Amino acid sequence: MTARAADAAYVVVGAGPSGLGCASELLHAGPVTVIDRIPVTGGTAGWENPLIKDLTRDVVSRGAHFALGQTAVRYDGATLTVASPTGFQPVATRHLVFAGGLRPGTPADLHIDGYRPAGVVPATVAEHLLRTGVQLWTHAVILGNGPWARPVAELCRKLGTRVTVVADLADVPDWSQWADKRIDATARVRVAGRDRISGVELTTADGTTSLTSCDALVLAADPRPNRNVVGALTEDDPNVLFHQPTQPTSPRLRYDAAARATRSWLQTIGGPS
Amino acid sequence: MTQMNSSTGTDRFDVVVVGGGVLGTSVAARLAATSASVCVLEAASDVCEGASKGNAGTACSYYGPPGTLETELINRSYPHWEELCGRLGVAYRRGGAIMLALDDAEAETLGHTLAELDEAGVRGEMKTPAEVAQLEPLANMATVAGLWMPDEGVIDPMALTVAYANLAVTNGAQLRLNAPVTTIRRLDDGSMELATPQGTVRGRYVVNAAGVRAGDVSELAGGEPLRSWPRKGQYAVLDRRFAEQLQRTVFCTHSPTTKGINVVPTTHGSALLGPTAQDLEDAGDTSTDRDQVEALIESARRLVPSITRDVVIKTFAANRPASEEPHRLRFDQTVANLLHVTNRSAGVSVSPAAGAYALDLLRDAGLDAEDRPDAVRALPSTPRLRTATDLNTLFAQDPLYAQVVCACESVSAAEINRALTSPVPACSLDGVRKRTGAMYGRCQGSLCAAGISFLTALHTNTGPRDVKQTAHGTVGQ
């Protein structure tokens, strides 16, 4: 399934549920190439997910071309530069659909104060590191209720790490199934500790501050679109579609939403080419 | 030849440099090109861990009035940045700076600044608001006047410091990391013995380039009290999607007490706002706070009004050494073979000439240091994927260039591997960032830091828990 990326009327970056939904709809309009950094389809839904397998088979049978394990690097409006183990390759396309998924908010996005010690880790990174099966921490504070919060908490607890989640009850109604403790989200968050993190100071809107000792802060708040193809970062080119919604979260619904968004985008740019 | 970290017994050197910042490494690089033997002691696990990594990355043509050694060293340094950075493979751009006057009082101050520039022999020219807008379309339209300084530049100060260190080590200098000096003993023969957790070294001369901690080192050596204190600067980094439009460095008019908040395009394509100025007792306080950051952004918006909070991708703080004696490149008044090399904010800008000047002082004091014709002058360059135009040539050089690790900043596995295997290799994720710019972009490593920690663990013989995230702390507990 992995091959050199082919020139196509439409190129989709991202082979998760959204990217597959976009591709499925675009196939009605013209040839489609789908690119993903990792060598399988499925994105965060996982390649072993039966739904992903079905959806992938469907778009493959309808002629979609896949270039997996390859990274879209730059786009100039006519050519997408793609990096792969065999080199850099120009892919001619007039239409780019970017379905590159979400990332957690950074300390700057979240206006986090204090120090920048070791042990403050984006949830996406924590998930990868914890999958090595090594216990990294004794007590992790997970900030926010993004889609990574629960999987990271479960990996932590499996390895013997205590988990405190900082999120409002309404946002994590099932928290007790996967965390040891919950603290309401606060107006301000400050990281304490110089070489390694020693705790998190949480300050409420009325000015009450409490310190929670911990040896890791996992950033899982405020999911936002991840954008990193140079030349395709802002929504000023009508021939570039960004489809990176924070909702819905289930793979099936994400696929459907992507197909709908692609359909209406195709109408705005003048339908099938 | 090169011996890093652990060592036992006492090793003797002609010169021991305390401090692996931009000044210490510059002095070491210059000395290493001579017959003198050199050892650098750095308290942290990497070079460039103090003010040298936390600054705006300006390579000045002007910083203060003429008649000071600082101005003299800047004048000797700035004409040569292209040549030096070409040799060392460090990003530098002479983009020029415009200093804005937003009212008549500031315009008057600019007039004085221009007079200083003229006296120092530095190029500067007063510009009308229309000319300012042409030079930098993003600059505030409501300016009264602008002072154009075409020889102001921007540099990658972390790459510069690492390059000085690489050059020093390549030419035989010894670098001991994790080696804070705990005691200094003056011996009967006049030399000094410095104890560190990485062994004891003896030097006929000691260069005190310890930055904010220079006073401590002088005290250990029995030297004069150096009154200096940490001045904290907070900074904000702007996303390249905004910052790449910025053509010039935009300075505010200096006030008698501060040089104020500036907007500086970086060699990475981002921009830096800062620094704030807050005098501290505690040199280890590098915390940021929201109120200062908001005020910083507001000040920057006076210069470039289109800056918004949502293009800020990172904030940080660093401490620079403040002192009544802002520039100190001289021997101690009581300990004859203790050479102080410290500077306030302009350490990067004076660093090339400071190395040569320090060598002159040491020679005058009796150091036998002949220039070695066989000394290496240039470092192997590492092309950057982000700025490369001919990608196929890059791939032919090293296929790992096509393995893009940090997508936001277009940093490849080839560049990261070189950072992890250079003469002074990265030993932490932050060390990789300092050398390559990886994880410096808008997602701050959300997508690539796991991969980079695996690569770093591989090269440092650690694992996911013990790999260093910063020079001071590990990912796991």
Q: DSSP letters along A83-147, please?
A: EETTEEEEEE-SEEEE---EEPPPTTTTT-EE---BTEEEHHHHHHHHTTT----SEEEEES-ST
**The pair of three-digit structure tokens given for residue B88, joined into one six-digit string:** 């060392």
* CB-based contact A119 B284, cutoff 8 Å: no
Which residues of chain A does B469 touch, with a Cβ-Cβ cutoff of 8 Å? 118-119, 121
* Whole-number pLDDT of residue B9: 63
Residue B236 sits in the same domain as residue B280:
yes
At A271 the pLDDT is 59
Test mutation, B268, B291, B294, B442, chain A, max A CBs within 10 A: B442
CB contact (8 A) between residue A129 and residue B315: no
**Phi, psi torsion values for B171, nearest 5 degrees:** -90, 15
Is residue A176, in this structure, part of any structural domain at all? yes
Taking 80 as the threshold, does the pLDDT of residue B7 lie above it?
no
Are B208 and B258 in a shared domain? no
Same domain, residue pair A247 and A172: no
Measured between alpha carbons, how far is residue B105 from residues B108, B249, B253 in Å? Answer: 5, 22, 10
Tell whether B271 is covered by a domain.
yes
Asked whether residue A47 is assigned to any structural domain, the reply reads yes
> Is the same domain home to B184 and B53?
yes
Residues B215 and B263 reside in one and the same domain: no
The kind and range of the H/E element at A271 are none
Claim to verify: residue B160 and residue B146 sit in the same structural domain: no
On whether both A50 and A127 belong to a single domain, the answer is: no
Residue B469: inside a domain: no
The verdict on A117 and A155 lying in the same domain is: yes
Provide the ipTM. Answer: 0.95
B333 and B316 together in one domain: no
Average pLDDT over residues B157-163: 98
Residue with tokens 């998930």: A127
Interface probe with B: pick from A36, A130, A228, most Cβ of B within 10 Å: A228
DSSP A257: H
Per-residue model confidence (pLDDT) at position B338: 98
The answer on B223 and B238 residing in a single domain is no
Please tell me which of the candidates B284, B286, B473 has its beta carbon nearest to residue A118: B473
- B468 belongs to a structural domain: no
How confident is the model over B11-24, as a mean pLDDT? 98
How confident is the model at residue A1, as a pLDDT? 43
Q: Closest approach of chain B CAs to the CA of A165, in angstroms?
A: 19
Residue B309, helix vs strand vs coil? helix
The answer to whether B463 contacts A104, with C-beta atoms less than 8 Å apart, is no
For residue range B175-232, list pLDDT tens digits in order: 999 999 999 999 999 999 999 999 999 999 999 999 999 999 999 999 999 988 899 9
- Mean pLDDT, rounded, for B5-13: 67
Asked if residue A209 and residue A170 are part of one domain, the reply reads yes
Contact at 8 Å (CB) between B64 and B390?
A: no
**Tell me, what's the pLDDT at A3?**
66
Q: Are B313 and B235 in contact (CB under 8 A)?
A: no
CA distances in angstroms from B270 to A68, A87, B234, B239, B371, listed in the order given: 30, 27, 16, 6, 39
Cβ neighbours of A103 in B, within 8 Å: 443, 446-447
Q: Do B472 and A118 touch (CB under 8 A)?
A: yes
Contacts of A36 in chain B (CB under 8 A): none
Q: Cβ of A88 and B392 within 8 Å?
A: yes
Domain shared by B210 and B234, yes or no: no
Q: Note whether B476 contacts A132, CB cutoff 8 Å.
A: no
Given B363, B381, B399, the domain boundary residue is B381
- Same structural domain for residues B241 and B266? yes
pLDDT higher than 50, residue B373: yes
Q: Among A68, A71, A72, which residue's Cα sits nearest to residue A80?
A: A72
Q: Do B307 and B313 contact (CB within 8 A), yes or no?
A: no
Mean of per-residue pLDDT scores for chain B: 95
For B474, nearest residue in chain A (alpha carbons): A118
**Cα separation, B236 vs A177, whole angstroms:** 39
Q: Are residues B376 and B344 in the same domain?
A: yes
What CATH code is carried by the domain that includes residue B329?
A: 3.50.50.60
Identify whether residues A188 and A246 lie together within a single domain: no
Does one domain contain both A128 and A198?
Answer: yes
A97 and A125, same domain (yes or no)? no
Q: Is there a domain that residue B418 lies in?
A: yes
**CB atoms near residue A156 (< 10 Å):** 26
Q: Are residues A212 and A179 both part of a single domain?
A: yes
Within-domain flag for A5: no
More confident residue, B154 or B260: B154
Closest CB to B476: pick one of A83, A103, A136. Answer: A136
Examine the fold and report which residue of A196, A219, A242 is the final residue of a domain before the chain moves on. A219
Question: Do A52 and A147 share a domain, yes or no?
Answer: no
Instruction: Summarize the confidence of residues B54-64 as an average pLDDT.
Output: 92
What local confidence, expressed as pLDDT, does residue B32 receive?
98
CA distance B384 to chain A (A): 13
Q: Does residue A107 form part of some domain?
A: no
**Number of compact structural domains in chain A:** 2
- Answer yes or no: do A200 and A264 share one domain: no
CA nearest B211: which of B395, B48, B405? Answer: B48
Within-domain flag for B24:
yes
**What distance in Å separates the CA atoms of residue B342 and residue B27, rounded to the nearest whole number?**
11
pLDDT, tens digit, 9 for 90 and up, residues B293-323:
999 999 999 999 999 999 999 999 999 888 8
Whether B57 and B43 share a structural domain: yes
Give me the domain span that covers residue A28. 10-101+226-268
Look up the CATH number of the domain holding residue B144.
Answer: 3.30.9.10
Q: Is B278 among the domain residues? A: yes
Q: Do B446 and A106 touch (CB under 8 A)?
A: yes
CB contact under 8 A, A196 and B449: no
Q: Would you say residue B465 lies in a domain?
A: no
Please give the Cα distance from A57 to A73 (Å, whole number).
27
CB contact under 8 A, B449 and A73: no
Are B313 and A138 a contacting pair at CB < 8 A?
A: no
- Are the beta carbons of B315 and A233 separated by less than 8 Å? no
* pLDDT at site B2: 40
Interface of B with A in 159-178 (CB under 8 A): none
Which one of A37, A106, A209 would you mutate to disrupt binding with B, by most B Cβ within 10 Å of its Cβ? Answer: A106
Rg value, chain A, Cα = 21
Give the CATH number, domain containing residue A240.
3.50.50.60
Strands B228-238 and B271-274: antiparallel
A28–chain B nearest CA distance, Å:
31
**Token pair recorded at residue A84:** 């792969």
Query: Do B423 and B337 share a structural domain?
Result: no
Contact A124, B450 (CB under 8 A): yes
Question: Is the bond leading into A31 cis (omega within 30 degrees of zero)?
Answer: no
In a domain, A213, yes or no: yes
Number of domains in chain B: 3
| Confidence grade of residue B4 (pLDDT, cut at 50, 70, 90) | very low
What is the predicted pLDDT for the residue at B201? 97
Cis peptide before A117 (omega within 30 of 0): no
Q: Which residue of B has its CA nearest to A139?
A: B477
B42 domain residue, yes or no: yes
Helix and strand element counts for chain B (H, E): 14, 22
Q: Which positions in chain A touch B178 (Cβ < 8 Å)?
A: none
Whether residues A55 and A21 share a domain: the answer is: yes
User: What is the per-residue DSSP string for A79-99?
Assistant: EEEEEETTEEEEEE-SEEEE-
CA-CA distance, B383 to B398, in Å (whole number)?
10
Show the domain range for B430.
Answer: 391-460
Amino acid letter at B104?
D
On the question of pLDDT at B5 being above 60, the answer is: no
Residues A54 and A33 in one domain: yes
Instruction: Walk along chain A (273 residues) and give the pLDDT tens digit of each residue.
Output: 456 788 889 999 999 999 999 999 999 999 999 999 999 999 999 999 999 999 999 999 999 999 999 999 999 999 999 999 999 999 999 999 999 999 999 999 999 999 999 999 999 999 999 999 999 999 999 999 999 999 999 999 999 999 999 999 999 999 999 999 999 999 999 999 999 999 999 999 999 999 999 999 999 999 999 999 999 998 889 999 999 999 999 999 999 999 999 999 999 998 554
